[in-house]
Amino acid sequence: MTRGTRDDDTAQPVAGPPAGSGDEPVPRLPRGRWLRLSGPQMFRIAGLLIVLVFLLIAQRPCANAVSTFVTGFGSQGSAAATMPRPGTVDLPAAAGSGSAGGSGLEYYERLRPGMTEDEVKAVIERARARAATGSSTGSATR
């Protein structure tokens, strides 16, 4: 490679030093350690690393302890015996035994898709008649 040219396809001349610069020294980049940290900065970094390692190590035991604590509620105590559990809930009595034990579905009239207008009117009239007899007997028993 000759002075003033680059070793590529275009071979253009390379710019020399600026005119009038003379023998001034060229500032150089520092060639020392890559990163200079003070003592307190190193202490902070080391502390952060210790905390991160502690969190990674303590994660599983803490998660197990918290899940045991949360799922442990309701298994003991004065109200635990009265709390319903799956399989221990009594089913309501038969539908004709009254509104307290039943679900109340026996008081509804069923509307099906495809009913004619006359069938819908008949269902509505039956429901009104049942409501009129049920409301008068219901108020007398209270």
Predicted confidence at residue 12, as pLDDT, reads 62
Model pLDDT for residues 23-39, shown as the tens digit of each residue:
788 887 766 667 778 88
Q: Report residue 141's pLDDT band, with 50, 70 and 90 as the boundaries.
A: very low
The pLDDT mean for the chain works out to 74
- The C-alpha angle with vertex 112 and arms to 130 and 94, in degrees rounded to 5, equals 50
CA distance 135 to 142: 11
- Are 110 and 119 within 8 A, CB to CB? no
What are the boundaries of each domain within the chain? 40-72, 112-142
- Report yes or no on whether pTM surpasses 0.75: no
Q: Report residue 52's pLDDT band, with 50, 70 and 90 as the boundaries.
A: very high
Predicted confidence at residue 110, as pLDDT, reads 86
- Are 92 and 102 within 8 A, CB to CB? yes
Residue 119 identity (one-letter amino acid)? E
Nearest to 131 by CA among 115, 100, 109: 109
